[in-house]
Amino acid sequence: MSVLDVIRKRRSIRKFESRNIEQEKLDSIIEAGRLAPSASNQQSWKFVLVTDKRNLIELAHACHDQMFVAEAPAAIVVCSEDNRMMSCGQSAATIDCSIALSFMILEATDLGIGACWLGSFDPEQVKEVLDLPKTYTVVAVSPLGYPAEIPNPRPRKSVDQILIRR
């Protein structure tokens, strides 16, 4: 499958089958994040793979009670130790972790694993639940699992609506 095919196939999955994800698939998803580019090649991200059911339940509560997180067999929490601002005014943590999670979600999609990028969570509660250092910045959470249903594609704006040519 081409990268563009995988991008077209990707959906936000919020209903998961109860079966576990094979370790080699989880390893491949993490590898995709590890290979992502980062500002100044700092690679200051930390990927927290959560598979313990109790931790998934607590993580769901830290994600403002989005209980589908607890129904997934796994979740990835993407954090950073880099709190610097890049010269463009953007947070290196946010940009680098977002690229890494995008790569991981695309790899998951290619492997038949569903994911859902969550931005609704209490970062301090996530750190507490997972016993993470206070110095970490929690950037995103994504449950992972075999999709129990595949939503229809969401409407996309046309190229003419989003592209400015100069």
Q: Residue 61: which CATH number?
A: 3.40.109.10
- Report yes or no on 154 lying in a domain: no
Containing structural domain, residue 50: 3-149
Decide: 70 and 118 in contact? Cβ < 8 Å.
no
pLDDT tens digits, the chain, 166 residues: what are they? 899 999 999 999 999 999 999 999 999 999 999 999 999 999 999 999 999 999 999 999 999 999 999 999 999 999 999 889 999 999 999 999 999 999 999 999 999 999 999 999 999 999 999 999 999 999 999 999 999 999 999 999 999 999 999 9
- Report yes or no on 159 lying in a domain: no
- Report yes or no on 158 lying in a domain: no
Decide: 137 and 46 in contact? Cβ < 8 Å.
no
Distance CA 27, CA 104 (A): 10
DSSP state letter for 63: T
- Report yes or no on 137 lying in a domain: yes
- Report yes or no on 21 lying in a domain: yes
pLDDT (0 to 100) of residue 122: 98
The beta strands (E) that lie in 14-160 are given as 45-50, 74-80, 114-115, 137-145
- Report yes or no on 120 lying in a domain: yes
Please give the tally of structural domains in the chain: 1
- Taking the model in full, what pTM does it have? 0.95
pLDDT (0 to 100) of residue 82: 81
- Report yes or no on 47 lying in a domain: yes
pLDDT (0 to 100) of residue 147: 98
CA 104 to chain centre: 7
- Report yes or no on 86 lying in a domain: yes
Residue 145 φ then ψ, to 5° = 180, 170
Distance CA 101, CA 112 (A): 16
Cross-strand pairs, 50: 75
